[in-house]
Amino acid sequence: MEKKNIDWSNLGFAYMQTDKRYVSNYKDGAWDEGTLTSDANIVLNECACVLQYAQTCFEGLKAYTTEDGHIVTFRPDLNAQRMAASAQRLEMPVFPEDRFVEAVHKVVEANAAYVPPYGSGATLYIRPYMFGSNAVIGVKPAEEYQFRVFTTPVGPYFKGGAKPITIRVCDYDRAAPHGTGHVKAGLNYAMSLYAIVDAHEKGFDENMYLDSATRTKVEETGGANFLFVTKDNTVVTPKSPTILPSITRRSLLYVAEHYLGLKTEEREVYMDEVKDFAECGLCGTAAVISPVGKIVDHDREICFPSGMEKMGPVIQKLYDTLTGIQMGHIEAPEGWIHKIC
C-alpha cells in the first residue's frame, strides 16, 4: 500500500478528509449491518434530535505504525465500553462493543494510506460517534440513530519536546453531581467552550475544574484526567464519579504498578494538598501525558518542583513506558494492542 503524499511531521490537529468512513443506521429497534462509504457528508432533517437537543456522544482513539511496521490501535475495547456507557446515559441504543471494534478496524484498514509512518510522531485519529437522527420536537429520545467512524491524520502533540503548561483553577463548573461528567456526551464539550476560550484569552493553556458541589476537590480539565506524583514517588489520580474514566490514566496506573513498581492511589484529591505534590500531568489519548508546571488558583500560584522546562522524572518514566508499549518496544499486557495489519 502506498502512503499518501502528506508532510507528516508538519501536520497539526485539524480535520483532513480521508477516503472511507463507517456508517450504521438504527431504525425500528435494530442496527443495520453497516457499511464503509466515501461520502463524508450527512444529510439530516432540520428537526433531528441531535440538532435540537444535542443527543450525541463520541469517542477518540488513535491508530499508529509500530517500529516493526504494523498498524495498531490501543485498547479499542475500552472505547467501545465507554461509548456504551455514554449511550445508555443519553437514552441512545448501544452499538454492540464487538461491532464497534470491528468498525474501527475496518475504517483504519480502509484508510491505511493515511496512517503516518513510524517515527513521524504523527498518528491517525479515529472518531467514533453516534447521534439521534430523526425529527423530534417534544423533548424525548430519538427513534432513529446513526453510528459513524471517521479518521483524520494528526501531527505529533509535542513539536520540539514536551514543555510543561500553565493551567488555572476555573470558576465555571464542568459537571454536576449525578450529571453527565462521567460520559463522553457532546453537551459536556459544548458547555466547556466558553471557559476554555476565556482561559486562552487570559494566557492559560487549560482549565482545572473542581468538584462543583464543594469546590474543594480536583476533578479534571476539559479533555484530560490529572495525575500527580508525591515527593516519595507515589502516583496519585483523582477519584470522582463526575470525571471521564480516561483510558490513558487507567493504563498509566497499571504501568506505574506493574512495570515501574510504583505505589499508586486513586482517591479524592483536595485542592489544598496540590501544593505538596512533586509532579503533575494531564493524561489523555492526545498527548499521553502533558506535564503541568504551574497551577494558578486566583491570587495563588503553585509551581511544581519539576519546573517549566521538562517533564518531572516519574512522569517521564511513565510516558516513556506507555509510549514504548504502544510503539512495540516494550511488551504490552495481554489485549492492549489491537493489530489492524
Residues that bind ligand PLP (CB under 6 A): 60, 220, 223-225, 244, 246-249, 283-285
| CB closer to ligand PLP, 142 vs 311 | 311
The neighbouring-strand residues paired with 280 are 228
Question: Contact 284/246 with Cβ under 8 angstroms?
Answer: yes
Give me the phi and psi of 200, to 5 degrees please.
Answer: -65, -40
How far apart are the C-alpha atoms of 134 and 12, rounded to whole Å? 35
Strand 337-339 versus strand 145-154 pairing type: unpaired
Total residues found in the chain within this entry: 341
Closest separation between CB of residue 225 and ligand PLP, Å? 5
| CB closer to ligand PLP, 173 vs 220 | 220
| CB closer to ligand PLP, 142 vs 315 | 315
Closest separation between CB of residue 45 and ligand PLP, Å? 29
How far apart are the C-alpha atoms of 97 and 104, rounded to whole Å? 11
Kindly name the residue from 20, 62, 106, 184 that is annotated as catalytic: 184
Q: What is the DSSP annotation of 271-333?
A: GGGGGG-SEEEEEETTTEEEEEEEEEETTEEEE-TTTTTS--HHHHHHHHHHHHHHHTSSPPP
Active site residue 62: no
Closest separation between CB of residue 322 and ligand PLP, Å? 11
Closest separation between CB of residue 73 and ligand PLP, Å? 12
| CB closer to ligand PLP, 83 vs 107 | 83
The residues assigned a catalytic role are 184
